[in-house]
A and B are shown apart, each in its own frame.
Chain A
Amino acid sequence: MKRRNFYLAGFLALLSFDTLAQICFKYAGTYALPLDFELSWFVRLFSRPWVYGAIFGYLGAFVTWMSLLKYAPVGPSFAASHLELVSVTLFSVWLFNEPLNAYKLLGGSLIVLGVLCLAKSEGKESGEDKDPGEGKDSRAV
């Protein structure tokens, strides 16, 4: 039970950090256009605040991710962290006026269904496998 709460809190933190980072990434990349593979692109990138928001979100997600990876297998945890797809898509409609067309709705739904399948696979696994760290799991992140 405690382990479940630990995972839930971890994934929620990961989701928030990831969503923040993606929005900042988009702003940073857009304001740094044109993409010319020269020093001037990096200068434009770092002269706006967005890249620093992206770094903050990236670092927060990194620390959360490394703490989770200790016990969870790489594939399914990676999948669970990708539910950011939904939050980022909602924000992109609101902030960047991106249309939600039929392709995106169908494609996005298929991906979310796929992610749920991976999460289901994960739930079965952790029921079978005995976690070696169980019993002394009062750790906090």
Chain B
Amino acid sequence: MASLAALLWFLNMLVDTGGQLSFKAAASHGVPATGPSSWKEHWKNMVVRPWLWIGIGCYIGEFFVWMAFLSQVELSSGIMLGCFNIVVIMLAGRLLFDEKLTPWRVAGILLITGGVAVIGFGGAA
């Protein structure tokens, strides 16, 4: 991978992880244990907290970063390299939301990391 493509890949990982974690926070903060009472209430609850808006900001940034990244690599390679975000988001979900790392999830993380490494070594350009 050329260094510009690698930089854009890394930037995309940052904004994507930030965005996904913000959306998770937006969707789960302030929701009673019995679940949100209605669709309207759920959204009302989300728009008054900052998480939804931080997530949207990250998504807008990602929109341009991802387009720039895809103009530097093949679409099929790009989409595969982008899958590394899954691994980063799972580890962050474990850290911030106490989501469990079951053996199946660890296997998934290892396989995806291996796959991304193979694409990277294959000279994605």
Q: A residues within 8 Å of B by Cβ?
A: 22-23, 25-26, 28-30, 32-33, 35, 45, 51, 54-55, 58, 62, 65-66, 69-71, 73-76, 78-79, 82, 84-85, 88-89, 91-93, 96, 98, 100-104, 106-118, 120-121, 124-125, 132-133, 136, 139
Q: Which of B84-125 contact A (CB under 8 A)?
A: 85-86, 89-90, 93-94, 97, 99-100, 102, 104-105, 107-119, 121-123
- A75 contacts B36, C-beta separation under 8 Å: no
Q: Is the interface of A mostly helix, strand, loop or mixed?
A: helix
Partner of B80, one of A28, A91, A107: A107
A-side contacts of B93, CB under 8 Å: 73-75
A-side contacts of B119, CB under 8 Å: 103-104, 107-108
**Count of interface residues, chain B, beta-carbon cutoff 8 Å:** 58
Q: B residues within 8 Å of A by Cβ?
A: 4, 20-21, 23-24, 27, 31, 33-36, 39, 42, 59, 63, 66-72, 74-80, 83, 85-86, 89-90, 93-94, 97, 99-100, 102, 104-105, 107-119, 121-123
- Chain A's closest residue to B122 (CB) is A103
Partner of B111, one of A70, A103, A117: A117
Partner of A26, one of B63, B70, B83, B90: B70
A-B contact list, 11 entries, CB within 8 Å:
A26-B78, A30-B70, A35-B68, A75-B89, A75-B90, A75-B94, A92-B75, A111-B83, A113-B111, A117-B108, A118-B104
A-side contacts of B78, CB under 8 Å: 26
B-side contacts of A117, CB under 8 Å: 104-105, 107-108, 111
- A108 contacts B115, C-beta separation under 8 Å: yes
B-side contacts of A93, CB under 8 Å: 76
- Docked pose: A74 CA to B95 CA in angstroms: 12
Q: Which 4 A-B pairs have the closest CB atoms?
A: A103-B122, A114-B111, A110-B115, A29-B71
- B97 contacts A74, C-beta separation under 8 Å: yes
- A79 contacts B108, C-beta separation under 8 Å: yes
